[in-house]
Amino acid sequence: MQRAPGALFVVLEGGDGAGKSTQAALLAGHLQEHGRDVVRTREPGGTPIGEKLRSLVLDHGHGEVDARTEALMFAAARAAHVEQLIVPALARGATVVCDRYIDSSVAYQGTGRGLGTDEVLALNRWATGGLRPDLTILLDVDPQAGRHRRTAGAAAEDRLESEPDDFHARIRQAFLDRATHDDGAYLVLDASLGVDELAGRIAAAVDGIGQAAGSAP
Ligand code: TYD
């Protein structure tokens, strides 16, 4: 893949209600203040086809969605996202800040739905042409705290969110296992820390790898 000097691919991961979207917005703001070209995006989504797949796979009311179909829809949305948005952004030297990526499929479909880590990793490596993040920030959230946070604004829970607490507890462990066993770079943070504290630690870590990649502010 063509990648301009200074390009960075940063992913935020974690259970539902971890505060990823808030931190993605703060990180994007921090990088833009320092003059970086930032593309902030999310999965599933980020492209027209990805947004359609998002509503197909997450909204209630499309009838039964079996585990393999679910995994394939997330992977299809991801393939379009990488090809149409992420790779072009990295090719021009941008920093991509992405809310969820392959580890979400490994945790939710591999462990949560029982499809298996290796199978889901293989599917997603194929779907993405093997594109891996430069840094994954895992916001580790207690499932009950996460549910409390995401239902506080009276927002309805989507198909995955409405799974029981033990499903979310297994997902939490699966994310932690990825951070321990994968050979990529991970920053694991306790999601119960204050918003500003988390934002400061995330900004420092991303500035650090940015310096290493020659894109420091
Ligand atoms: P998210 O956008 O984080 O939810 P929200 O914006 O409502 O906070 O993610 C949507 C849901 O999709 C979430 O429950 C996790 C699930 N998901 C998977 O199961 N597999 C995947 O590969 C991805 C990207 C998300």
Pocket lining: 157 vs ligand 1, CB cutoff 6 Å: no
Pocket lining: 163 vs ligand 1, CB cutoff 6 Å: no
Residue 21 lies in a domain: yes
The confidence score (pLDDT) of residue 166 equals: 93
The percent of residues above 90 in pLDDT, for the chain, comes to 82
**Nearest by Cα to 121 from 107, 106, 132, 131:** 106
Pocket lining: 161 vs ligand 1, CB cutoff 6 Å: yes
- Which residue matches tokens 């500035």? 207
Task: Tell me the pairing of strands 135-140 and 95-99.
Answer: unpaired
Query: Is pLDDT at 9 greater than 80 in this prediction?
Result: yes
Residue 2 lies in a domain: no
- Domain with residue 185: its CATH number is 3.40.50.300
Q: What would the mean pLDDT of 84-113 be, rounded to a whole number?
A: 98
Q: What would the mean pLDDT of 188-197 be, rounded to a whole number?
A: 97
The confidence score (pLDDT) of residue 181 equals: 92
How far apart are alpha carbons 17 and 61 in whole angstroms?
Answer: 23
Q: What would the mean pLDDT of 14-42 be, rounded to a whole number?
A: 96
Pocket lining: 44 vs ligand 1, CB cutoff 6 Å: yes
Query: Is pLDDT at 216 greater than 60 in this prediction?
Result: no
The confidence score (pLDDT) of residue 214 equals: 64
Query: Is pLDDT at 27 greater than 70 in this prediction?
Result: yes
Give 40's strand partners: 97
Give the chain's domain count.
1
Angle formed by the axes of helices 67-81 and 48-58, nearest 10°: 160
- Which residue matches tokens 């290796």? 118
Dihedral sign for Cα atoms in the order 11, 15, 18, 19 = positive
Q: What would the mean pLDDT of 16-40 be, rounded to a whole number?
A: 96
For ligand 1, mutation pick of 42, 104, 178 (most atoms within 8 Å of CB)? 104
Query: Is pLDDT at 137 greater than 80 in this prediction?
Result: yes
Q: For the segment 165-187, what is each residue's pLDDT rounded down to a tens digit? A: 899 999 999 999 999 998 889 99
Ligand 1 centroid – CA 212 distance (Å): 31
Q: The domain containing residue 76 runs over which residues? A: 8-213
Dihedral sign for Cα atoms in the order 18, 20, 25, 30 = positive
Residue 3 lies in a domain: no
Q: For the segment 68-94, what is each residue's pLDDT rounded down to a tens digit? A: 999 999 999 999 999 999 999 999 999
For ligand 1, mutation pick of 100, 106, 123 (most atoms within 8 Å of CB)? 100
The percent of residues above 70 in pLDDT, for the chain, comes to 97
| Predicted confidence band of residue 197 (pLDDT cuts 50, 70, 90) | very high
**Of all atoms in ligand 1, which is nearest to the CA of residue 102?**
22
Pocket lining: 128 vs ligand 1, CB cutoff 6 Å: no
How many other β-carbons are positioned within 10 Å of the β-carbon of residue 90? 23
**Of all atoms in ligand 1, which is nearest to the CA of residue 150?**
8
